[in-house]
Structures are given as structure tokens and as C-alpha cells.
A and B are shown apart, each in its own frame.
Chain A
Amino acid sequence: MNKVKALIITGYGINCEEEMAAAYRLAGAEEEIVHLNDIFLGKCSIHDYDILNFPGGFSFGDDLGSGKVLSNKMKFKKLKSGKLFFDDIKDFLSEGKFILGVCNGFQFLVKMGLLPNTNGKFEQEVTLTGNNSGKFEDRWVYCKLNENSKNPFLKGIDKIYLPVRHGEGKLIIKNERIKNEILEKNLNCLTYCDKEGKKTSEYPMNPNGSELNCAGLTDETGRVFGLMPHPEAFLSLYNHPNWSQMKRNDPKISEDGEGLKIFKNIVEYILRKDAKNAK
């Protein structure tokens, strides 16, 4: 059977590419880390892959706002072939393929207009900006899945505990119309919540003051997914801040981290989809 091929973008200050690559490897996919400029130079084509990943980091040091400079690059720069990279991404999506952005990657996706993209025109409709605490925050938070979301990445997950590590994770939505569309179409697939799974705007459970307590968004197809928390930082039980007590309470506990599930989900989904198409 063919393996799912995951392309992980790096360069310009992106810094979570290795754990993202490990996530796909552990999920059974074939992964490759590629410098964004090698795509511009035509050394690598995104179309050779099933899923395009934008990992976290501090691209261009968050100058001009997180993700701004790199999203400008991706939106306005041409490939060696003369085609706009952004058009190439749209074509990639129209082939039915997938895009994941985590943290800084999520910030590119919203600033490029790939998320939530309620009107299909790829315009910026929301932004991610400075946390209400005025601080960078590294802390673990609970997130609740929107059960009506079509997002295949989150299948079978009800609530997930993940680290956030950002200074600019507060979602602001351009206007009421877009907010309503997000709600109606269930694009707010992941929401900050308390330990019991109840959505909350209370700090620090909601670490940034996001509108709709939003931790992650998807587009209408469910094939573009962005989130602030880092699933690739919870691949192993031993990433959990309380792993040692959990192991004491349940010596047989799985050594996989909950974050790995998201990658396994999408890899399995693509495999099943491909198998169906092959029939």
C-alpha cells in the first residue's frame, strides 16, 4: 500500500518542523521537511504530497505581527514557473488535498485568507493577535471538539489536552456576518474549555481571550485546519506535565500522546479516501 506523503514547510524562523515530521512518521506517513524557498525555486512541488503542513515558529521574528511577513511571501511571491505560489495552493486544495497549520502556521493560514474562508474568496476574515494577558504563554490547556465539525483531523476526539506556546493567539473576527457563518457552518472546530469540557473565556483556561473561545478553525470542506495548541508537542505520554502520576494511577497507560491521534486520524482518513477512489 502507498504511504501518505506529508510535506512539512520550514525556513525563515519556522521552528517546529522536526516534531511535526516525527508526528507523521509515528502516524505511519512518509514525511519530508522542505525549505519554502526550495518550493519557490521549483526544486519541490507541493502537488507531490497529500498534505501540506505549516508548523509553528517565529517566522521573521513575528515582526509586523505574527505570520504576517511569511504570509505576504506566500501570497505574493511567484514560483520559478511564473505561477503565484498562492494559486498553486488553491490548485492543491482543488485536488481534494489537505492543509494543516499549527500556531505560527495557523497564523499564516488566517492571514493568507485560507481560513475560515467563509465566502470561498480567500480573503482575510479573521486575525490572530496579541494575547489579552499581554504575555507569551507556555501552558497546557483543554480544548473541546465541536461535534458538528466535519474536520477529519479531530475524529473520535471529544476533548484534548495540549500545550499552547504563543504571544499572539487571540482570534478576532472581522464582523458579525463572518462570526455567524463560522458558527452556522461549525468552522470553530476546537474551543478552549475547562477540565470538564465546558467552554470558557476564563483566563488561563482560555489563554489568550479568543473570540468564541476559539482554539482552532477549519474551512467548509474540513480539509484546511489550523489551531493554536501544538498537537505535535504531545506525541508521547512523557510530554504530559503529569505523566508520572498518570503512570502511577494506571501502570498500563498507553505511551502514545493524545496529540499523535490527530496525525493518525488524518493519515488514516487519506488512506481510506485513496482506497475508496482506487476502487
Chain B
Amino acid sequence: MKNQIQLVLKDNIFDVQGEKIEGSALSFLNIKTGKIKTGKIFNITYDLSKEDIQKFANLGLKDEIIHDVYINSFYKNSFYKSFILVSKLPGVTDDEGVSAQKTLNDILDLSLDTNTQHIFTDDIYLIEKQLPNDTLRTLAEKLLGNKLIHHFEYGKFTGKIEYIPEVRIEQNNESETIDLNVTDDELLKISKDRLLSLNLEEMKAIQSYFSDEKVKEIRKANGLPENPTDCELEVLAQTWSEHCKHKEFAAMIHYKNLETGEEEIIDSLFKTYIRKSTEIIRERLKKAGNNWLLKIFTDNAGVVKINDESVFVWKVETHNSPSAIDPYGGAITGILGNNRDPLGTGIGGGKLLFNTNVLCFGPPDYNKELLPGQLHPKRIFEGVRHGIEDGGNKSGIPTVNGSIIFDDRYSGKPLVYCGTGGVMPYKFAGVNSWEKPIDDGDLIIMAGGRVGKDGIHGATFSSAEIDEHSPQSAVQIGSPITQKLLSDFMQEAVKQGLIKCSTDNGAGGLSSSVGELAQISGGAEILLGKVPLKYANLKPWEIFVSESQERMTFVVEEDKKEALFELAKEREVELSDIGKFTSTGFIDVRYDNEKVILLEMDFLHNGVPRKYMKAEWKKPELSEPELPSNLDYNEILLKLMGSYNICSRENVIRQYDHEVKGKTIIKPLMGENGKSPQDAAVMRLNFDSFEGIAISNGICPKFGDIDAYEMSAGAFDEAIRQIISVGGKFPDINDKTNRFWTVNDNFCVPDSAFDEENNPNGKQKLAKLVQMNKALFDMSVFYNIPMTSGKDSMKNDFKAGKVKISVPPTILYSMVAKLSDVRKTITSNFKAKVDLIYILGKTYNELGASEFYKLFDKLGANVPKVRKENAKRLYEKLIKANEQNLIESCHDLSDGGMVVAVCESAIGTEFGVELDVSEYKDLSLNAILFSETHSRFVVSIKPEKKGKFEKLLKEDCMLIGKVTSDKKMKINFKEECVFDVEIEKLQRAWEKGLT
């Protein structure tokens, strides 16, 4: 220990954080702490003089208006009877420590090393009440930190803190050889012990590669042992992981429909449905000479053409498993990692325009006993929300759109979908920005954060179920500032033509980023000894597969290296030259002078055995429920508005910066008081034109409990109708203006591989996945809306002992469509009294899985069906109505059905509504009000436009009432009043749902 500096708030300064913790302790954990005083401790291991420490503390760290500073002593006050210290475990990101190191150099004009950790920060909480140790431990572990990443001390404060999380690793950086000439059982044991997640067939494929005589010869000539090194096994496990190779989406599937007896063989879900649909659309576009699909499926993110000057690039990913065990770290690394996808597409260095997040959690009032290792949904919610806040806000990327869904089955593994869109110029220094050329001799340059043990086995980890023994190294905390410096630097470097192309280092680290790029040139030579480390003594395989964050890999031509390194130095970005691309057909990795990997590229990338899977479909036996006949609709509506899946997300939305960059035109909440919820987000692309994009997300897993095909089709429709609702226009094969639509499909399903003992209903689950894919294909080719990128996450099960919590099969369609003029877009809130209110689209008796049924704990059987021909006809009419400026407000109908949508259009306005729904034929009142039939909207128009509007919409519209000035929701049915509630009351219920 060298020096310690503590900052505490002066006693007269209100301790906001302390008070917040006091409140949370009481509301989350029912612990009365009394007053809490927070403080920050800096443990400094640099060798510094007494004067320098004084100067650093007083000038560099202290805010003299609010802080008292203690040097090598600590604030003490007998008023506080207990304390909790939260330190980071060795190797956990400590950005504050690093920033303190940088400011130390600035203040004292020094040039101390800031790339490794020498200042370690702790948080200290002084607590008024004298609390027993297990209460303090509960507070520490459940509120203040996470034992997977934090070290805690608690009790009565003695005035001494000795813990410093310096990383010390015993010298052991040698590579070992693993004998594969063993029995099948032993092969499996090797896979299990080393956390390789490889099955027997895969292990045997590796065994047989290494026993090939030709391979043996080459290895001998190159001085490598006959058996694989640990590095080789690890890189194979990474490359062959479900996460990287999508083995189940590539599998041969035998699908049997037990209803009809039909059977079919599906040769890869990905090829048959996802890629195929996009290829069909690309062919159509090519034929018409309007191909705006520039890049699909072959890079980190898809690319479409905006105009002759710019292209749009975007990707949606998931980060479910990490978010289950450390919600904050999981979400922030998820969002930052996803940012690096568009950033590392083509040449790379695009400007990131927006984030979107869709989250699925267990309900906040979850009251079942928590399994070992399971975190409470409320805690996961808050942690993930906070991670998204920091990941987006600190990077200066607005979080413009999202959705939160609650269901008991997400209580084990939450789903955390992170999406990011960006814009690249059409060309960088004369080269098409989305292309990725790599030639023999190009340098491999690693940029950004240093390498530590972080996330080792992350790719294989997310391909496996979580259990109470999940490895600690799976948890990482992102560093937005490191990435911001890196991405700013890239933008400058690509403009100057210094980077030939780039990719991100995500799952699988260097092994995966370089491994994938090497396919372009046909090989690579990597010198692991040149990779800069956070701390000494990592094993070669650990360096190669480490998932330390905020790193990119650049492909650089020798003659650009000097200029690139010079710029990097000026921008405080660390670069290292770690090898070169070759065309030898081998991936050749060395550590110092020893060869640790020599694998044929072809085997590495194509050697994984094909999976064969079985799917069986049988329709569930379901029926419509009987409900009481004397329902109090006012009360039902209040309950619906306050229910988890419908209520206001304002508290979350306002903590995300959703308008940095000044380009957000339709924000998540609009209207005079910023209260009215909207459908799709709208952004403009620059300040010199009004060209823009609409961004939407379609997701409705609940319908999958009745019919997975309709669920998937419904989600696709939801994403489309949100964009149509704000004024988007359909893609037109013959349109010459690059009016692109692009989708990221994102499947998150439970383990769907049949296993008699562990997964007896695997075949049914796989059948659902097949049906979801069929719907994707049907919708995509019908509308000419292509997938440009996507992701699948196949093992969303939380396991503890014999208990398993599996997510429902879930598909998210994230859509972006180009808009020619954002000024012509439509918001969802009513604009003026006496405007007429219409429902567009026919309503069916489709209450199955509705929010209304959920109030009675019923599922029902009548799932909403997508009637795409009818829907398209309506959408086209609505587009025409918008062209003629007929629409004042438009909101799509989804959770809760018609009444909820009308209510949402009134919330946040100075208006009410008066409706009469007697016109509906052959429908029960419940179905009229609460059916969740797809492809419908509530719109309002000026009364004088009635004739023109009805002539255009014809049978697809129904006048149901008007906007009033009395701020009430009144609905009549056959001369009977069914609703008469003040909007304000509904709004209060809606706003209270999640607080």
C-alpha cells in the first residue's frame, strides 16, 4: 500500500446517492439503515511524494465546493455505527481509477503509465444504524454490488482499509498439449473440464483431424506436437461454438406435423428461410435495377444504400446470459459490443446514429423463491436499465426506441436485445465503405482496450445453460469512454484512408476476429507476445480467446502504419502490431518463438460436423374461456392501463438520452407535456435535408403459446404497422429513390435439441422455431422487406439442480425504413377537439393471449392471425391518405386492443373522447374493446376531410366517435354507456404501473 485518498461530501451537502440507497434498502430489502453517507476512496500504488499526493488530492480529485478530502486517513464520525466497503475484484474494469491516473499526469505534468491499473477506487458507505453482519452482507450483495465482481467489507469501521485488487498470477504462460488418443468418455471429459462446450461428434472430428497422416507430417515439419495444443483446442471450441457457427440454424431438421402427418426435411433454417427470402428480394431489386441491398449476412452488420453519398448500416444483438448474472455489466457490454458491429462493418468507422433496446424480464413483483444464482427480476430490470443508460448516454448515442415485456418465464434468463444503426459515407478515400478487401501481407493491428482474463469462454458460455457454477470470468464491465475514444479515432483514420478495413473483437476475441478476417486473404500469422496485457502471465490461449472489451482489429497496409500509429498516439488510443495476413491456407499463431497453433483454415471454419435435429408439431388443445357477464369496464380499463405490459415506460425513457445528436424527430414520448406514447421512432439523417428513417420493433411472444407461426407473423406485422403509422411508405421494387426497408431478425429460444432426459419436449420447441421461420419467410417475400442481418440465441434456459426456467420462444423483428421527408410524419396523440376518430382494419374475435384475458389468468384459443393481403391493402390506402395530408394522428393497435390504443392517443393531450361502438357486427363487446387483432390503427382526422377520407379508405375504416374537450373517455354500446372515466385517472393508473 502506498497512498490512500478519500473524498466525502461536506456535512452540509445533501448526499443524494446516500438518500437514494436508504430508500432502496427499505423498498427492495425492507432494511432500515438510517442515514447513509457515501464516500470514494482512491488507493494509489504509484510511487509519489507527499507533496504530489497533496496536490493530486486537492487539485485533481476534490471538488472544493462539495468535498472534504482525507489523505492516508479516513472520515470518521460516531454517528455512523456500521460501514460497507465495495471494492472491485482483481481485473474488474475500474474506469474511475484510470481517469484518475490520467488526471494525475495532467496535474503534475508526469508521464506515468496509464495503460495498466495503478489507482484502484472503492466506494464506502457509512450507515447510521448498527446492523448485524448478515444484514450488511445482504445490503452489499443485493443492493450495492455483485459478489461476482466486487469484494465487500462490512461491520464497524476500524479506520483501516487494506484490500487492493492488484492482479497477481503465478508464472505459467506455457502452452500444453492435450492427448486426444483416448476413449469417447475421456474426449467428453476433456470438453467438459476445459469448458469447451463441444459434443462427442465434434471432439471426434478434431481427433480425426489430428490423426490424419498429412496433418501429422505438416505439424512435424513445423515443430508442433502430434496432439493439439491447448490453444488449438480453444480456438476450435470458440470457432465451432453455437454462438459463432449457428449450428442449430445450420442443422438438417426433420420436421413432422403430427396433425396432418406431413413430413419434410429442412436443410438449414438459415439458408431455407432467412437467407432465401432476402435473396429473392435482392433478385427482384436487381432485375428492376434498384438494388439498394449492398451487403447482407457476410459482415458484422448489413448495409443498405441511402443515396449516392451515404449508406446505412445496422445490427441488433442479444446479451442474455451475461445480463442474467450481472445485469449492469451484461447490458453495458451488450450495448457497447453491439455498437462495434456497425463500427466494424466494411472499412469501418461509421457514425453511430441511434440505439434501440428491447427487454424481456420476469415481473417486478415476482414472488417465487429465488434459485441459487438467480437474481430477482426487479434487480435485473434496474441493472440492465442502468447499463443501457451508461452504454448509450456516455457514448453520445441516443436510445430512441424500445420495448419492455414482462412474463414469468423470463425470470431465469432475461432477454436483452441491443440494436445500433449508423451511417457511413458511400466511399472512404475513394473506396466503397462497405467492402472488406484484405491481401497477403496486410498487417493485423489491434486497437483499444488491453487484454485480460475477461470473458474467457464467453462465446461458449452463452451457448450453454447457466448454472450456479458459471465461471466468474464471464462477467465484464464495459468502458464507454475507452470505446468513445476508439470510435472517434476510427472516424478520423478511415477518412484519411489509413485503415484498409476493420472488425470488432467480440465473442471469441482475437481468435474469432482474426480467424474470420483471415478467410478473406486465406491465412494469418499472429504473434501473441505482442498483444498488450492488462497484467502479466496470461497463458497464450487465454490471450487469444480473451473477450476483453472495447477492442477492434484493423487491417492496415505497411505504408500506412506510421501515420496510423501517430494519429492513435495523439488520440490516446493504444495500437499494437500483432502479425499479418497471409495466403498460406493456415492460421499460424506463435508465442515468443514457439508455434502454438497451426490449423488449416478450411478445417477451422468448415470442419464442424453438421447437426441433425428432430421437430414434431402438435396443436395444443385450447379453448376460449367463459368470463363473468357483469364486468365493470371502467375498473378493467384502469387495471389494463396499469398492467406491466401496457403501463408507461416514462421513468426508463427519461433516463436514456434519446435526443443527443439533435436528430430525433419522433421521440418515445411526445405531446405538450411529453407524455404521449408513440409507435416507431423517427430520426433525420443530417441537418441539411429532411431525409430520415423510421425505426420500429415488433415482438409478441405471448401469442406463441397458441401458435408460433402467427406469433412470428404478428411480430413482423407489428414492426411494419408501426412504421406505416408514423407515415412510412412501402418498399417498391420499381422505386428509384433507394426507399429501403431493412430487418434484423433476432431469435431467442429455449433449448430446442431433443434429449429424452434433459429436454423431453425439445421436438415441440424446435417445431415452434421452424414455424417462426416459415412466417418470417412468408412475410418478408410478400412485402419485399429483407433481412439484412440477424442473430439467434438458442439456449435461453436457467438451470439450478433439477429446476429449469425456460424463456418462451421469442422473435424480435427490428425494422428501419427510409423516409423522404420527416416533416410529413404523424404522431399518435390527438391534435384538436371535434376531430373524428376512426378504427382502420377489421376487428376479429381474437382475444387469445390478450392482455384482457390475462387479467382473468386465461389464455384462450383464438390467436390473432395476420391476414397479409388485407393488411397490405389497408396500409397502401393509409399511405395514400398521408400523401393527401388527411391524417392528424395515427396509433397502431397492439397490447390491450382498441380501448387501450384510443386511451393512449388521448393521454398527454388536453382532450377526451366520445365513442360509440355499436356499428361492429357479430362481435361481442369484449372482442370489440379488447381483441388484439393485428394490422389496425386508431386515427383522427379533421371533420372537413370526412368525405375524402372515407372515399379512400372505404370498407377498411369505421367511424367510432370524436375528440372532445372534456378530458373524459366515454364509450357507448347500443345506447348503453360502457365507459365513463376521466383520462387523468387512466393516465395516473398508466403512470403508476412500474413505480
The answer to whether A and B come from one shared complex is: yes
Find out whether the CB atom of B570 lies under 8 angstroms from the CB atom of A58. Answer: no
Chain A residues, Cβ within 8 Å of B14: 132
Find out whether the CB atom of B831 lies under 8 angstroms from the CB atom of A138. Answer: no
Query: B102, B665, B825: which contacts A239 (Cβ < 8 A)?
Result: B665
Find out whether the CB atom of A11 lies under 8 angstroms from the CB atom of B571. Answer: yes
Chain B residue, CB-CB nearest to A171: B65
The binding surface of chain A is classed by DSSP as mixed
Find out whether the CB atom of A19 lies under 8 angstroms from the CB atom of B103. Answer: no
Stretch at the interface among B15-23, B127-135, B210-218: B15-23
Chain A residues, Cβ within 8 Å of B63: 65, 68, 111, 124, 127, 129
Smallest beta-carbon distance B353→chain A, Å:
11
- Asked if A61 is an interface residue, CB under 8 A from chain B, the answer is yes
Stretch at the interface among A46-54, A69-77, A218-226: A69-77
Q: Which 5 A-B pairs have the closest CB atoms?
A: A15-B396, A63-B99, A19-B662, A127-B65, A61-B481
Query: Given A26-B687, A131-B16, A233-B660: A62 and B394 within 8 A (CB)?
Result: yes
Query: A63, A76, A243: which contacts B100 (Cβ < 8 A)?
Result: A63
Query: Given A19-B662, A242-B671: A64 and B100 within 8 A (CB)?
Result: yes
Q: State in angstroms the CA–CA spacing of A7 and B694 once bound together.
A: 33
- Asked if B602 is an interface residue, CB under 8 A from chain A, the answer is no
Find out whether the CB atom of B662 lies under 8 angstroms from the CB atom of A72. Answer: no
Find out whether the CB atom of A16 lies under 8 angstroms from the CB atom of B670. Answer: no
Find out whether the CB atom of B671 lies under 8 angstroms from the CB atom of A245. Answer: yes
Find out whether the CB atom of B109 lies under 8 angstroms from the CB atom of A78. Answer: yes
Find out whether the CB atom of B485 lies under 8 angstroms from the CB atom of A12. Answer: yes
Q: State in angstroms the CA–CA spacing of A141 and B488 once bound together.
A: 31
Chain B residue, CB-CB nearest to A125: B65
B contact set with A: CB distance below 8 Å: 13-14, 16-17, 19-20, 59-61, 63-66, 95-96, 98-100, 102-103, 106-107, 109, 389, 393-396, 479-481, 484-485, 488, 570-572, 653-665, 667, 669-672, 674, 684, 687, 690, 822-823, 825-827, 829, 831-832, 888-889, 909
Smallest beta-carbon distance A162→chain B, Å:
11
Q: State in angstroms the CA–CA spacing of A72 and B107 once bound together.
A: 7
Smallest beta-carbon distance A21→chain B, Å:
9
Chain A residue, CB-CB nearest to B482: A61
Find out whether the CB atom of A69 lies under 8 angstroms from the CB atom of B103. Answer: yes
Query: Given A35-B571, A138-B654: A233 and B66 within 8 A (CB)?
Result: no
Chain B residues, Cβ within 8 Å of A136: 389, 393, 655, 657
Chain A residues, Cβ within 8 Å of B95: 61, 63
Query: Given A12-B485, A63-B99, A64-B96: A172 and B13 within 8 A (CB)?
Result: yes
A-B contact pairs, 24 of them (CB 8 A): A15-B660, A22-B687, A25-B687, A41-B570, A58-B395, A61-B481, A63-B96, A72-B103, A72-B106, A77-B109, A124-B63, A136-B389, A136-B393, A138-B655, A138-B658, A165-B393, A165-B657, A235-B687, A239-B659, A241-B671, A242-B671, A244-B831, A245-B832, A248-B888
Q: State in angstroms the CA–CA spacing of A62 and B99 once bound together.
A: 9
Q: State in angstroms the CA–CA spacing of A165 and B283 once bound together.
A: 45
A71-115 interface (Cβ within 8 A of B): 72-73, 76-78, 111
Find out whether the CB atom of A241 lies under 8 angstroms from the CB atom of B669. Answer: yes
Chain A residue, CB-CB nearest to B390: A61
Chain A residues, Cβ within 8 Å of B670: 241-242, 244
Q: State in angstroms the CA–CA spacing of A163 and B660 once bound together.
A: 10
Chain A residue, CB-CB nearest to B18: A134
Q: State in angstroms the CA–CA spacing of A25 and B822 once bound together.
A: 21
Q: State in angstroms the CA–CA spacing of A140 and B653 once bound together.
A: 13
Smallest beta-carbon distance A225→chain B, Å:
19
Find out whether the CB atom of A239 lies under 8 angstroms from the CB atom of B664. Answer: yes
Q: State in angstroms the CA–CA spacing of A234 and B661 once bound together.
A: 10
- Asked if A18 is an interface residue, CB under 8 A from chain B, the answer is yes
Find out whether the CB atom of B664 lies under 8 angstroms from the CB atom of A64. Answer: no
Find out whether the CB atom of B831 lies under 8 angstroms from the CB atom of A245. Answer: yes
Query: A56, A78, A132, A245: which contacts B829 (Cβ < 8 A)?
Result: A245
Q: State in angstroms the CA–CA spacing of A85 and B17 once bound together.
A: 34
Q: State in angstroms the CA–CA spacing of A38 and B653 once bound together.
A: 36
Chain A residue, CB-CB nearest to B674: A241
Chain A residues, Cβ within 8 Å of B889: 244
Smallest beta-carbon distance B206→chain A, Å:
43
Q: State in angstroms the CA–CA spacing of A207 and B65 once bound together.
A: 21
Smallest beta-carbon distance A232→chain B, Å:
6
Chain A interface: which size bin? Answer: 35 or more
Chain B residues, Cβ within 8 Å of A230: 662
Most chain A beta carbons < 10 A, residue from B13, B570, B671: B570
Smallest beta-carbon distance A206→chain B, Å:
15
Find out whether the CB atom of B17 lies under 8 angstroms from the CB atom of A61. Answer: no
Smallest beta-carbon distance B861→chain A, Å:
40
Find out whether the CB atom of B660 lies under 8 angstroms from the CB atom of A60. Answer: no
Q: State in angstroms the CA–CA spacing of A19 and B688 once bound together.
A: 11
- Asked if A152 is an interface residue, CB under 8 A from chain B, the answer is no
Q: State in angstroms the CA–CA spacing of A13 and B106 once bound together.
A: 17
Q: Give a binary string over A1-40; 1 marks a CB under 8 Å from any B CB, 0 the rest.
A: 0000000001111011011001001100000000101100
Chain B residue, CB-CB nearest to A237: B823
Extra 19 A-B pairs, beta carbons < 8 Å, given A16-B660, A131-B16, A248-B832: A13-B481, A13-B484, A19-B662, A19-B663, A35-B488, A35-B571, A63-B95, A64-B96, A68-B63, A68-B103, A124-B65, A126-B65, A138-B658, A165-B657, A174-B65, A241-B672, A244-B826, A245-B672, A249-B832
- Asked if A169 is an interface residue, CB under 8 A from chain B, the answer is no
Find out whether the CB atom of A134 lies under 8 angstroms from the CB atom of B20. Answer: yes
Query: Given A76-B106, A241-B671: A64 and B481 within 8 A (CB)?
Result: no
Chain B residue, CB-CB nearest to A11: B488
Q: State in angstroms the CA–CA spacing of A234 and B656 once bound together.
A: 18
Q: State in angstroms the CA–CA spacing of A10 and B485 once bound together.
A: 11
Query: B20, B109, B396: which contacts A58 (Cβ < 8 A)?
Result: B396
Smallest beta-carbon distance B429→chain A, Å:
20
Chain B residue, CB-CB nearest to A22: B687
Find out whether the CB atom of B99 lies under 8 angstroms from the CB atom of A232. Answer: no
Chain A residues, Cβ within 8 Å of B66: 127, 129, 172
Q: State in angstroms the CA–CA spacing of A230 and B661 once bound together.
A: 11
Find out whether the CB atom of A232 lies under 8 angstroms from the CB atom of B823. Answer: no
Q: State in angstroms the CA–CA spacing of A277 and B672 once bound together.
A: 45
